[in-house]
Structures are given as structure tokens and as C-alpha cells.
Amino acid sequence: MNLLAENLAVSRGGRPLLAGISFVVGAGEALLLLGANGVGKTTLIRTVAGLLAPAAGSIRIEGGDPERSVGEQCHYVGHLNGVKASLTVAENAAFWGRYLGRHDGLDAALTAFGLASLRDIPAGYLSAGQQRRLGLVRVLLAHRPIWLLDEPTVSLDRAAVEALTRVVGEHLAAGGLIIAATHAPFGVAKARELALGAAATA
């Protein structure tokens, strides 16, 4: 499977933000989007996810499911964790599992992000880093080949970053693809970098 963007242009609020963006991400590869705040990393990721329409250019998948759109083959985790404070850790994860169509693997997903011992704690009592980990649990409940991660390491301590690195590594080893906007590269193998702020190719 390959995810391809060709001569992509994206806008925000009707204002041109990026143009001439081309990249290819293959199975087992990660592409890290780098650049200053406001340069368009989040907008580009949201465009790949199908949440925004590109102003120009195209995004397509080679070797994916021909019956599903690009966005339907992606799982996007943005800045917001999508956590309900009054629900427990396990209840939050179970909700996302049902929403994403997966009814197994909940315990393994919580364990992968170091949350198994907190499963019965209301999410409102979690620290910012624990809530971020709970938000990231969704990638293991989605069963989608392409992960789109927007600043995934925000609020994470070193141990949590290492847990994320392991999860990401397993996804790539299984042939998954990742595009991540990040200020802090987190040891992803087979990662290339795309610096935004000017016409770019990766």
C-alpha cells in the first residue's frame, strides 16, 4: 500500500496556507511533518483524513481497499483527546471501540499505553499525560492501516513516549503507515521528514 499526495494545496479560512506538497508514504513507513506553529501541519493532516477538501492537487491510495475512501482507511487523532470526564478509563475506551467497530482488544490496548491499572478511574481524575494516552488508545481499536497523529507526544513523559514508540513500531512492522505532525521526533524507525513552510516533496 502507498499513500500519495501530488501537488497538494491547502487553505485555512479561505487563506492559502500550503502549495506544491507532494509525498509518498509506503507500507511500514512514517512521515513526520515538521515546522513552526501555524505553518499548516494540522491542516495538512486533516486534509489527508478527508476532513478538509484540498484547494488543489490530489490524495490517493495505491493498494488499499477500493471500496473505501482515503479518509475511511485512516484513523486521525488530533489535539483533543475525545475523553468523557465522567466515564471511567475502560468505559471511554469501550465507547471508542464500539464506535470504531471493534469489540475486542480493549484490555491489550489499555495495557499497551500503561492504563490497565487505571481502568476503573473516572477520566476526569487523570493527569494531562494520562488523558493523552487514553486518547491515543483509539489507534489500537480502529483497525485502519493509516494513522494520522497530530502532536501525539504532547503532555507525555518519557515512559509514555516509549510506550507510544513501541505501539507505533508494531504498527509499522505490520505494514501500517503513519503521518505525524510533531515538534519532538520520538524514535520512529523508517521515518522521513517533511519540513513545511515552502513547497516540499518527500
Q: How far apart are CA 75 and CA 186, in angstroms?
A: 19
The grid cell for 51 is 476532513
Yes or no: say if 89 and 121 are a contact pair by the CB < 8 Å rule. Answer: yes
pLDDT at 15: 87
DSSP string, 2-56: EEEEEEEEEEETTEEEEEEEEEEEETT-EEEEE--TTSSHHHHHHHHTTSS--SE
Q: What are the pLDDT digits (tens) for 161-176?
A: 999 999 999 999 999 9
pLDDT digits (tens, 9 = 90+) for 37-87: 888 999 999 999 999 999 999 999 999 999 999 999 999 999 889 899 999
Sheet with 2-12, edge to edge strand ranges: 15-26, 2-12, 56-62
Residue with cell 497530530: 150
Question: What pLDDT digit, counting tens, does each position of 27-40 carry?
Answer: 999 999 998 888 89
Asked if 51 contacts 78 with a C-beta cutoff of 8 angstroms, the reply is no
Read out DSSP for 44-75? Answer: HHHHHTTSS--SEEEEEEESS-TTS-TGGGEE
Percent of the chain with pLDDT over 70: 97
Q: At residue 199, does pLDDT exceed 50? A: no
Domain ranges of the chain: 2-195
Say if residue 114's pLDDT is above 50. yes
Reading phi first (left if > 0) and then psi (alpha if -120 to 50, else beta), residue 107 is in alpha
Is residue 16's pLDDT more than 80? yes
Q: 147: which residues sit within 8 A by CB, 6+ positions away?
A: 74, 75, 77, 139, 168, 171, 176, 177, 178, 179, 180
pLDDT score, position 202: 53
What's the average model confidence in pLDDT over 142-153?
93
Distance CA 76, CA 83 (A): 15
DSSP letter (8 states) at residue 122:
B
Residue bearing the bigger pLDDT, 80 or 146: 146
In this structure, are residues 23 and 201 in contact, taking their beta carbons and an 8 Å threshold? yes
| Closest of 36, 37, 47, 35 to residue 11, by C-alpha | 47
CA distance 187 to 197: 23
Domain 2-195 fold is Rossmann fold (3.40.50)
Q: How confident is the model at residue 198 (pLDDT cuts 50, 70, 90)?
A: low
Alpha-carbon distance of 48 to 54, in angstroms, equals: 9
